[in-house]
């Protein structure tokens, strides 16, 4: 591919792009742990992404995207749209690269995520969820400033970057049991992580977990066309997975690669958070526990080489206490 | 050294022994993460030992000890004495090596630790704390069965094994900032981990943290002789650090190498647990948070290359909720 081709934001994400991103991430950050967890007599391998500096996998895609910007693009800044984890990823990468970042975030985002994004030096533009259209707000900012939009999932660099978690997990599993994963189970919001993992691990079956009421990707896959979330006011604790709809760039990969999945209830998510606390000693945020929840609920089976993504840990203390205390 | 010399349980632990243990641990378990944490403008490097399969560093010493037993010794079994983390370490290593293990544990140990030790297949002999003498109970078991005593800290293999956390941390820090630690801050119960770290990292100053009322090692260092805990009924949440006194084998190393330390209050420990939850997304048990507590309380300073041990995460849910919820 020519430089012009891979610099095109409308290009498709590629396995080669994931490998290039993996080299950049390996030079920047240590691997997150891959921790064994016994589930009904089988070993499940948990990729602990809350151990990233920003507490979630989103640092991967943001770094791949921002570090590929030209000097001219860097000078004009970046705009992100996020409920909090992508926000921190973009803010972290921007601070490290000396790029000005503005993030469009919902007013009801977890306090921990708002505070952490601010602490990383980003400018925050709040919006009301539901009600305001965050993509329209971001588009307006981009039009006025010439900044680069770094979408939370509908972006080829972001998808490739998130896939680096799969490259790492495959190498770690190979070192532990002599083979890579045959199944990867992942939380799914807009589909950036799921699509990245699919590109990273062509031999693994991809299973996705979404919160009940926010299972638009599963419904889209069943329908063969992108469907939006039906009721954006549906209650969920999984703020990180509250995406209105997936994008064509994600859907193209998911449609070809997703083998199964499940919608999980609030109680199932809370049970997964409790188990991760008790057995792995990790704080997992609700959205980050969705895939483990699907497994524990018996909705996705564990194979001989299953990797599950514990995708983040940015949860307010009160929310955590309420959910694991029940 | 001859085989006879290094097989002598009365031998002194050595840096060479730590390096041999590090090779065995590296072949068995992945490194635990070394996570950066900003504390008042400096980066503190946190060694996250709750990511071990048993949720604490104790797997290191237990593995080094049990894997060095002869076939004849293995056949006679092992006896451990522990409030829970060493118990799990011995049980885990024993199960893997096919050795029968009996662990002497206090009746008031955390439920999570009792359950986990049982789940690993060990036989548990309960005792009352305070009241019964756990070392006498263990000695009686050993006398009757011919089993090998695997002491929680007063054992050269155990000390060397715990030191492997320092070998790992030094290599990880070198990879991140181009140098090893100049200071290591660690929770201290009987002094097995602290002595092991001292042997592992000869260029680092060793600082220890003990719970208020259980600061017998700090008092012993000040007095130049081993002093026991004055009041074994003193209330503390740090069950892992409730050791009645250090042993000469530990004290010899600590006396030569400990540069400083502090006793920490229950409130300081709880504050450290909250910070580790909020910023690192980790569940740290009270005893495992003592060293971080000393740093946050301003009792031990952070240098340019300070490593702190977060030594375990085996805490009951109710205790965790009570301590981080305040």
Interchain proximity A282–B278, CB inside 8 Å: no
A45 neighbors A2 (Cβ within 8 angstroms): no
Average pLDDT over residues B214-219: 98
Interchain proximity A51–B53, CB inside 8 Å: no
Is A283 an 8 Å CB contact of chain B? yes
Interchain proximity B112–A172, CB inside 8 Å: no
Residue B163 has pLDDT above 90, yes or no: yes
Q: How many angstroms separate the Cα of A101 from the Cα of each of A77, A95, B205?
A: 6, 8, 41
Interchain proximity B274–A36, CB inside 8 Å: no
Of B3 and B308, the one with more pLDDT: B308
Q: If you average pLDDT over every residue of chain B, what do you get?
A: 96
The minimum CA-CA distance between A87 and chain B, rounded to whole Å, is: 16
Q: How confident is the model at residue A44 (pLDDT cuts 50, 70, 90)?
A: very high
Mutation for testing the B interface, residue in A46, A281, A282 having most B CBs under 10 Å: A281
ipTM of the complex: 0.94
Is B27 an 8 Å CB contact of chain A? no
Interchain proximity B176–A30, CB inside 8 Å: yes
Q: pLDDT tens digits for B250-271?
A: 999 999 999 999 999 999 999 9
Average pLDDT over residues A119-140: 91
3-state secondary structure of A138: helix
Of A109 and A35, the one with more pLDDT: A35
Residue A2 has pLDDT above 90, yes or no: no
Q: How confident is the model at residue A5 (pLDDT cuts 50, 70, 90)?
A: confident
What is the pLDDT, as a whole number, of residue A3? 81
Could you tell me where the DSSP H helices lie in chain A?
3-6, 15-28, 59-67, 71-76, 85-97, 111-119, 134-145, 156-177, 192-200, 216-223, 248-257, 266-275, 290-296, 317-325
Spatial distance between the Cα atoms of B250 and B161, rounded to a whole number of angstroms: 13
pTM: predicted TM-score of the whole model, two decimal places? 0.95
What residue has token string 């892992």?
B240
Return the bridge partners of A101, or none.
Answer: A78
**Residues of chain B with C-beta less than 8 angstroms from the C-beta of A176:** 30
B84 neighbors B239 (Cβ within 8 angstroms): yes
Is A324 an 8 Å CB contact of chain B? yes
Interchain proximity A50–B281, CB inside 8 Å: yes
Tokens of B123: 């036989």
Half-sphere exposure (Cβ direction) of B226: Cα atoms closer than 13 Å: 15
Average pLDDT over residues A174-196: 98
Average pLDDT over residues A236-250: 95
Spatial distance between the Cα atoms of A205 and A95, rounded to a whole number of angstroms: 36
Residue B151 has pLDDT above 90, yes or no: yes
Minimal Cα distance from A112: which residue of B? B278
Give B 46-75 residues with CB within 8 A of chain A. Answer: 48, 50-51, 53, 55
Is A112 an 8 Å CB contact of chain B? yes
Average pLDDT over residues A47-53: 98
What is the pLDDT, as a whole number, of residue B129? 79
Burial A280-290 (b: 16+ CB within 10 A, else e): bbbbbbbbbbb
Q: pLDDT tens digits for B17-28?
A: 999 999 999 999
The minimum CA-CA distance between A296 and chain B, rounded to whole Å, is: 19
Q: How confident is the model at residue B68 (pLDDT cuts 50, 70, 90)?
A: very high
Spatial distance between the Cα atoms of B78 and B53, rounded to a whole number of angstroms: 20
**Which residue, among B2, B17, B26, has the nearest Cα to B198 in the 3D structure?**
B17
User: What are the DSSP calls for B266-320, one per residue?
Assistant: HHHHHHHHHHIIIII-B---TGGGHHHHHHHTTSS---TTEEEEE-B----HHHH
Q: How many angstroms separate the Cα of A132 from the Cα of each of A84, A86, A125, A155, B32?
A: 17, 19, 12, 22, 43
Minimal Cα distance from B283: which residue of A? A281
Average pLDDT over residues B151-180: 97
What is the pLDDT, as a whole number, of residue A208? 98
What is the pLDDT, as a whole number, of residue A1? 73
Average pLDDT over residues A169-194: 98
Residue B326 has pLDDT above 80, yes or no: no
Average pLDDT over residues B166-191: 98
Return the bridge partners of A44, or none.
Answer: A37
Residue B130 has pLDDT above 80, yes or no: no
Q: Which of A4-18, A32-46, A184-198, B53-67 has the lowest mean pLDDT?
A: A4-18
What is the pLDDT, as a whole number, of residue B6? 82
What is the pLDDT, as a whole number, of residue B281? 98
Q: How confident is the model at residue B83 (pLDDT cuts 50, 70, 90)?
A: confident
Q: How confident is the model at residue B222 (pLDDT cuts 50, 70, 90)?
A: very high
Is B323 an 8 Å CB contact of chain A? no
Is B32 an 8 Å CB contact of chain A? yes
Sheet with A306-310, edge to edge strand ranges: A34-39, A42-48, A306-310, A183-187, A205-211, A258-264
C-alpha torsion sign, points B155, B157, B161, B163: positive
Q: What percent of chain A has pLDDT over 70?
A: 100
Spatial distance between the Cα atoms of B301 and B197, rounded to a whole number of angstroms: 18
Q: How confident is the model at residue B229 (pLDDT cuts 50, 70, 90)?
A: very high
Is B35 an 8 Å CB contact of chain A? yes
Q: How confident is the model at residue A229 (pLDDT cuts 50, 70, 90)?
A: very high
What is the pLDDT, as a whole number, of residue A131? 82
Q: pLDDT tens digits for B274-320?
A: 999 999 999 999 999 999 999 999 999 999 999 999 999 999 999 99
3-state secondary structure of B146: coil
Spatial distance between the Cα atoms of B158 and A244, rounded to a whole number of angstroms: 54
Residue B221 has pLDDT above 90, yes or no: yes
Q: pLDDT tens digits for A62-77?
A: 999 999 999 999 999 9
Task: Give, in degrees to the nearest 5, the angle at Cα B19 between B18 and B21.
Answer: 65
Q: pLDDT tens digits for A21-31?
A: 999 999 999 99
Spatial distance between the Cα atoms of A258 and B256, rounded to a whole number of angstroms: 60
Average pLDDT over residues A195-201: 98
């Amino acid at each position: 591919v020519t430089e012009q081709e891979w610099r095109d934001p409308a290009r498709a994400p590629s396995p080669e792009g994931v490998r290039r991103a993996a080299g950049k991430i390996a030079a920047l950050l240590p691997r997150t742990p891959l921790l064994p967890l016994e589930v009904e007599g089988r070993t499940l391998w948990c990729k602990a992404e809350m151990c990233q500096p920003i507490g979630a996998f989103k640092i991967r895609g943001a770094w791949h995207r921002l570090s590929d910007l030209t000097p001219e693009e860097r000078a004009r800044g970046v705009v992100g749209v996020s409920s909090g984890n992508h926000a921190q990823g973009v803010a972290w990468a921007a601070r490290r690269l000396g790029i000005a970042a503005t993030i469009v975030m919902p007013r009801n985002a977890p306090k921990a995520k708002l505070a952490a994004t601010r602490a990383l030096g980003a400018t925050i533009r709040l919006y009301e969820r539901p009600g305001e259209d965050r993509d329209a707000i971001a588009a307006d900012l981009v039009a006025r400033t010439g900044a680069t939009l770094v979408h939370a999932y509908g972006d080829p660099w972001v998808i490739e970057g998130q896939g680096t978690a799969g490259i790492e997990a495959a190498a770690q599993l190979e070192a532990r049991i002599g083979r890579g994963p045959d199944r990867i189970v992942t939380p799914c919001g807009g589909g950036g992580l799921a699509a990245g993992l699919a590109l990273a691990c062509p031999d693994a079956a991809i299973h996705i977990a979404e919160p009940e009421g926010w299972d638009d990707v599963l419904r889209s896959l069943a329908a063969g066309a992108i469907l939006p979330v039906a009721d954006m006011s549906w209650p969920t604790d999984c703020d990180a997975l509250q995406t209105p709809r997936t994008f064509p760039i994600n859907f193209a990969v998911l449609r070809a690669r997703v083998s199964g999945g499940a919608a999980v209830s609030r109680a199932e998510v809370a049970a997964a958070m409790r188990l991760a606390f008790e057995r792995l000693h990790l704080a997992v945020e609700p959205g980050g526990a969705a895939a483990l929840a699907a497994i524990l609920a018996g909705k996705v089976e564990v194979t001989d080489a299953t990797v599950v993504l514990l995708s983040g840990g940015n949860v307010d203390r009160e929310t955590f206490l309420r959910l694991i205390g029940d």
